[in-house]
């Protein structure tokens, strides 16, 4: 038994990524569900997978659900659709007190009859239970200052991924 414990301890020391494999895979699974809900316009799923601080900033959970439902309805009526999203490799985990967090970069392409928009951005994933459950914040407009609304002690590590918006007329 002592031999087994020693092997696990050595493995954890020489392979620090091993300890974080499950939280990162859970974060990726959750962000994929979030993106599918955005693609299909499932407002309740998007709200459920969004960080509670975003609910608060939107005026409450019910207000956010109402706004998002109307936004999805309007987008569909205008012929706006999410054409493609490619998820990149998540960052290393960061720690903020009891929370762990990471960045999941993505490239999204959406379009309507008049234009096509490409966005290079990221989701900030935050877990208050060591990576078992994740809630997300879209980082397309996030910077070194407003990230502190969600990660108060953010020091720049891991670094914020870059963001870029490109609009092309059809």
Scanning the structure block, which residue is given the tokens 């966005």?
119
Instruction: Say yes or no to pLDDT of 29 above 80.
Output: yes
Task: Encode pLDDT of 40-86 as tens digits.
Answer: 999 999 999 999 999 999 999 999 999 999 999 999 999 999 999 99
Instruction: Say yes or no to pLDDT of 10 above 60.
Output: no
- Please, which pLDDT band fits residue 23 given cuts at 50, 70 and 90? confident
Instruction: Say yes or no to pLDDT of 18 above 80.
Output: no
pTM: 0.84
Instruction: Measure CA 33 to chain center.
Output: 11
Instruction: Say yes or no to pLDDT of 90 above 70.
Output: yes
Instruction: Say yes or no to pLDDT of 157 above 50.
Output: yes
pLDDT given at position 2: 52
In 3D space, the residue among 144, 138, 129 whose CA is nearest the CA of residue 99 turns out to be: 129
CA distance 124 to 94: 11
pLDDT given at position 14: 39
**Both tokens assigned to 79:** 């012929």
pLDDT given at position 170: 79
Task: Encode pLDDT of 93-151 as tens digits.
Answer: 999 999 999 999 999 999 999 999 999 999 999 999 999 999 999 999 999 999 999 99
pLDDT given at position 169: 86
Instruction: Say yes or no to pLDDT of 17 above 60.
Output: no
The b-or-e profile of 71-96 (16+ CB within 10 A means b, else e) is ebeeeeeeebebeebebeebbebbeb
User: What is the C-alpha radius of gyration for the chain, rounded to an integer number of angstroms?
Assistant: 18
Which of 15-19, 34-38, 165-169 has the largest mean confidence?
Answer: 34-38
């Amino acid at each position: 038994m002592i031999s087994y414990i020693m092997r696990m301890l050595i493995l954890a020391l020489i392979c620090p990524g091993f300890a974080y494999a499950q939280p990162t895979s859970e974060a990726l699974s959750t962000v994929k569900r979030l993106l599918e809900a955005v693609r299909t316009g499932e407002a309740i799923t998007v709200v459920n997978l969004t960080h509670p601080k975003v609910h608060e900033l939107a005026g409450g959970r019910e207000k956010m659900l109402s706004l998002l439902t109307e936004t999805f309805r309007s987008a569909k009526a205008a012929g706006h659709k999410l054409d493609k999203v490619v998820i990149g490799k998540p960052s290393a985990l960061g720690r903020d007190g009891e929370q762990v967090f990471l960045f999941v970069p993505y490239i999204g392409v959406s379009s309507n009859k008049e234009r096509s928009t490409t966005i290079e951005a990221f989701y900030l994933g935050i877990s208050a239970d060591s990576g078992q459950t994740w809630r997300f914040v879209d980082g397309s407009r996030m910077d070194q200052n407003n990230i502190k609304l969600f990660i108060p002690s953010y020091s720049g590590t891991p670094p914020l991924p870059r963001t870029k918006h490109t609009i092309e007329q059809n």
